[in-house]
Copies of this chain bind each other. A is one copy, B any other.
Amino acid sequence: MGKGEQTRNLILDEAVSLAMKVGLEGLTIGALASRLDLSKSGLFAHFGSKQDLQLLTLRHAETLFQAAVLVPALAEPAGLLRLRALLANWLAWLERDLPGGCVMLAASGEYDDRPGAVRDLLVSGQRELRGVLVKAIRQAIDAGQLDASTDPWQLAFETFGAVLAAHHDRRLLGDARAAARAKAAFDRLIATSEARDPSPEAS
């Protein structure tokens, strides 16, 4: 990584932290400059406009999410192990107090009514993430771990719901049990989707 890229990554880490506080829409080059104690003109060299800054910040948060949640889960064998790793990493991501925590989920509420390039990037990231979840579920079905009748999109929707509720209860209601509740919800989802014994007379 060159020095220019390193600087830019450090700036984007701060931009993600700032977006956590003020929302992606509240993120301006001026506010970021004053947080970093840099000149606005210096930052304009990196980001030509507020929208560029928002898009690069969102993409940076997505990259942090991929590195923390998706990459280690994809290192697990396909099937239930991978699916469980995905959820565990995701909940750990929401719990941590580091840059990037939940810029995507916060932005979901901010941009659902606000058309434009930021929303488009957000939507495509959310669709991609749902696709990763659906694929992991399909692999667990193909491996015979989940029942063939399982609807992967429905199960992915319900898993996402548990994550959203954990995020809401942790951050708004300050409920320390939120992640454990999401884990319990997911365990029940998996238990009710597990493959039925194909030969009942063997049981």
Number of copies: 2
- Say which size band chain A's interface belongs to: 35 or more
Whether the pair B113, A109 counts as a contact (CB closer than 8 A) is no
Whether the pair A111, B165 counts as a contact (CB closer than 8 A) is no
Contact of A112 among B108, B112, B153, B171 (CB under 8 A): B171
How many angstroms between the C-alpha atoms of A127 and B173 in the bound complex? 8
Decide if A158 is an interface residue (CB 8 Å cutoff).
yes
Whether the pair B172, A168 counts as a contact (CB closer than 8 A) is no
How many angstroms between the C-alpha atoms of A47 and B23 in the bound complex? 26
Decide if A35 is an interface residue (CB 8 Å cutoff).
no
A111 with B185, Cβ < 8 A, contacts A162-B161, A164-B165 known: no
What is the interface of chain A, defined by CB distance below 8 A to chain B?
Answer: 20-21, 23, 105-106, 108-113, 119, 122-123, 126-127, 153-154, 157-158, 160-166, 168-169, 171-173, 178, 181-182, 184-185, 188, 192
